[in-house]
């Protein structure tokens, strides 16, 4: 089991809770720290986490890259999860490896808001649900109820835990930080956060059901798609959303990552473009239309 530990209060609380929960702590634990190289003193976070891992008697792994101050949140997150994924593959002895992160209720709400602002549609409410990643602060199996930031600070104070503050959490260049600052001005109470959490639980289950159905009817990569599907579905909003779900799953299967607005433009091109015309998808992928079909 890999614990992603940055040294901040969230991950230090998770580390302490895991190590104090006997049925979990008996598993093979590895503390993993990723240094993005965004701040000059970020190596001090790595040293702090390494020392704390030693105090808990837990194996420590780390990796540093040099992203620099201009790195985006998305780039930093991608590099971090690449590291965690590769480490999981390295440690897997055939029984599987879980990656645990310290995302909590406030993180969930911020992520949902970001997704909705970016036009992700209904799937934006099913965020933070990646295969192989567990987020125990958003579960009820281990710690009985989801935890928010206030509960994490309360636990850290009671246990007198040491942690490091990341100055980049106050940088307004990041959309997440701007949203967080606005939420601090108009905070939700715990019951309101739980309402979002319950919707999130339902949405995850719905997404899994939709994915199962959609993947069952998709043409294989390289096979032709019939344009008449999309022309017939160019009716009410529900049918247009079905078109987008088909295109989303098909592009992902073909190794193409497209935003919802890009998929909407693609859907319209399928309906309107004349034979011989091509549509540009992300990654310089061209889709050429015949009179009745196209390929992904």
**In the chain, what are the domain boundaries?**
2-189, 218-295
Burial 22-32 (b: 16+ CB within 10 A, else e): eebeeeebbbb
Predicted confidence at residue 26, as pLDDT, reads 60
Structure confidence by residue, pLDDT tens digits, 186-230 = 888 999 999 999 999 999 999 889 999 998 888 887 889 999 989
**pLDDT score of 125 more than 70:** yes
Predicted confidence at residue 66, as pLDDT, reads 86
Q: 4 and 102 in contact (C-beta within 8 Å)? A: yes
Average pLDDT, the chain: 89
**pLDDT score of 23 more than 80:** no
Is 3.40.50.620 the CATH number for 2-189? yes
**pLDDT score of 270 more than 80:** yes
Helix, strand, coil shares, percent, the chain, to 5: 55, 10, 35
Predicted confidence at residue 130, as pLDDT, reads 85
Structure confidence by residue, pLDDT tens digits, 25-50 = 566 899 999 998 887 788 899 999 99
**pLDDT band for position 235 (50/70/90)?**
confident
Per-residue pLDDT averaged across 173-185, rounded? 79
Predicted confidence at residue 179, as pLDDT, reads 86
Interatomic CA distance for residues 224 and 219, integer angstroms: 7
Interatomic CA distance for residues 152 and 10, integer angstroms: 6
Lowest mean pLDDT among 29-43, 92-106, 169-183: 169-183
Q: 56 and 12 in contact (C-beta within 8 Å)? A: no
- Record the pTM: 0.82
Q: Treating both helix axes as pointing N-terminal to C-terminal, what angle do 260-272 and 237-253 enclose, rounded to 10 degrees?
A: 100
Predicted confidence at residue 182, as pLDDT, reads 83
């Amino acid at each position: 089991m890999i614990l992603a530990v940055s040294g901040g209060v969230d991950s230090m609380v998770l580390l302490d809770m895991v190590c104090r929960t006997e049925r979990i702590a008996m598993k093979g634990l590895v503390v993993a720290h990723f240094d993005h190289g965004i701040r000059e003193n970020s190596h001090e976070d790595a040293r702090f986490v390494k020392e704390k891992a030693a105090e808990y008697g837990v194996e420590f792994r780390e990796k540093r890259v040099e992203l620099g101050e201009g790195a985006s949140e998305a780039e930093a997150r991608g590099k971090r999860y690449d590291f965690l994924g590769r480490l999981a593959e390295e440690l897997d002895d055939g029984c599987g490896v879980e990656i645990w992160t310290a995302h909590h209720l406030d993180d969930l709400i911020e992520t949902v808001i970001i997704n909705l602002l970016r036009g992700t549609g209904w799937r934006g409410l099913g965020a933070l649900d990646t295969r192989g990643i567990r987020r125990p602060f958003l579960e009820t199996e281990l710690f009985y109820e989801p935890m928010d930031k206030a509960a994490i600070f309360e636990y850290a104070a009671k246990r007198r835990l040491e942690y490091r503050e990341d100055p980049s959490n106050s940088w307004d260049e990041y959309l997440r930080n701007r949203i967080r600052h606005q939420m601090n001005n108009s905070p939700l109470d715990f019951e309101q956060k739980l309402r979002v959490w319950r919707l999130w639980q339902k949405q995850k289950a719905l997404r899994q059901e939709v994915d199962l159905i959609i993947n069952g009817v998709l043409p294989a990569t390289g096979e032709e798609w019939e344009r008449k599907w999309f022309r017939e579905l160019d009716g009410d909003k529900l049918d247009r959303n079905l078109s987008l779900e088909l295109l989303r799953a098909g592009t992902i299967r073909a190794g193409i990552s497209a935003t919802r607005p890009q998929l909407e433009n693609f859907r319209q091109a399928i309906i309107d473009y004349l034979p011989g015309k091509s549509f540009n998808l992300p990654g310089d992928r061209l889709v050429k239309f015949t009179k009745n079909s196209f390929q992904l």
